Structure 1
């Protein structure tokens, strides 16, 4: 679980910055509805990524071979959740659908770009040495 703490903090910070930008851009371009819908979409994306990272890290504590199935399961759940929330937003507040969807995409791009930058800068050994003396 401690392995995800390295990239989680900068990714959540990038998502917070993206949410503020989304609120400003949404408010300026499409009004009050977009000012809350776009950052809500960013928050949904960040929640999905953080949740799946935590679930995969938890699965790794049991057995390393469980990480791929857990990643696939969380991806499926995430996709279903986003589609469900998008349909709820469309039914409840149709004007918020497009800004919310843009927020989801923007949040995903911000999260993934930050994670890629973190991995590029991280010193991650690709060879694991045996701990025997």
Structure 2
């Protein structure tokens, strides 16, 4: 799994670029609340994806059959965190809610697109190369 986690660095790099772009776009469209809300949404998405990768990798060390249940659990947990974060932003800074939500969506798209490009270019064998005779 360690080799398969090679996409984390490029994904974080693209998420950083997306956060800067989100901050500028948020500032232009919504002023100060947008300037912090949009990149905060990108950061939440990136941290959620990275947390899922780490949780699934930890489950894989225990037993490969635990990876799907762990992925589903982390997905549900991420949804709860995202809804709680959206509720908190709406309660404390309603002007930042739309930029924050757009940042979450933009961060997710940036992360997933980067991961897809990495997976397309990666040389990952689909069969076991070192099989004992």
The alignment's TM-score, normalised by the length of structure 2, stands at 0.96
| Bigger shift: residues 76-85 or 28-37 | 28-37
| Bigger shift: residues 47-56 or 27-36 | 27-36
| Bigger shift: residues 26-35 or 37-46 | 26-35
Q: Corresponding residue for 2:65?
A: 65
| CA-to-aligned-CA distance 1:25-79 (integer Å, 9 cap, x gap) | 1111211110000000000000000000000011111111000000000000000
Q: What CA distance in whole angstroms lies between the structure 1 residues aligned with 2:49 and 2:4? A: 11
Q: What CA distance in whole angstroms lies between the structure 1 residues aligned with 2:4 and 2:130? A: 22
Is the partner of 2:123 in helix, strand or coil?
A: coil
Q: What CA distance in whole angstroms lies between the structure 1 residues aligned with 2:53 and 2:130? A: 26
The alignment's TM-score, normalised by the length of structure 1, stands at 0.96
- Give 4+ residue runs of structure 1 displaced > 3 Å after superposition: none
Q: Corresponding residue for 1:89?
A: 89
- Aligned 1:14-25 pairs, distance under 5 A: 14-25=14-25
CA contact (8 A) 2:30 2:95 kept: no
Q: What CA distance in whole angstroms lies between the structure 1 residues aligned with 2:78 and 2:43? A: 13
Residues 88 and 4 of structure 1, relative CA distance in 2, 3 Å threshold: farther
Q: What CA distance in whole angstroms lies between the structure 1 residues aligned with 2:13 and 2:84? A: 26
**Gap regions ≥5 residues in structure 1:** none
**Gap regions ≥5 residues in structure 2:** none
| CA-to-aligned-CA distance 1:76-117 (integer Å, 9 cap, x gap) | 000000001100100011001000000000000000000000
Root-mean-square deviation (CA, aligned residues, Å) is: 1.1
Residues paired across the two proteins, number: 133
Q: Corresponding residue for 1:38?
A: 38
Deviation at 1:132, TM superposition (A): 1.9
Q: What CA distance in whole angstroms lies between the structure 2 residues aligned with 1:4 and 1:90? A: 37
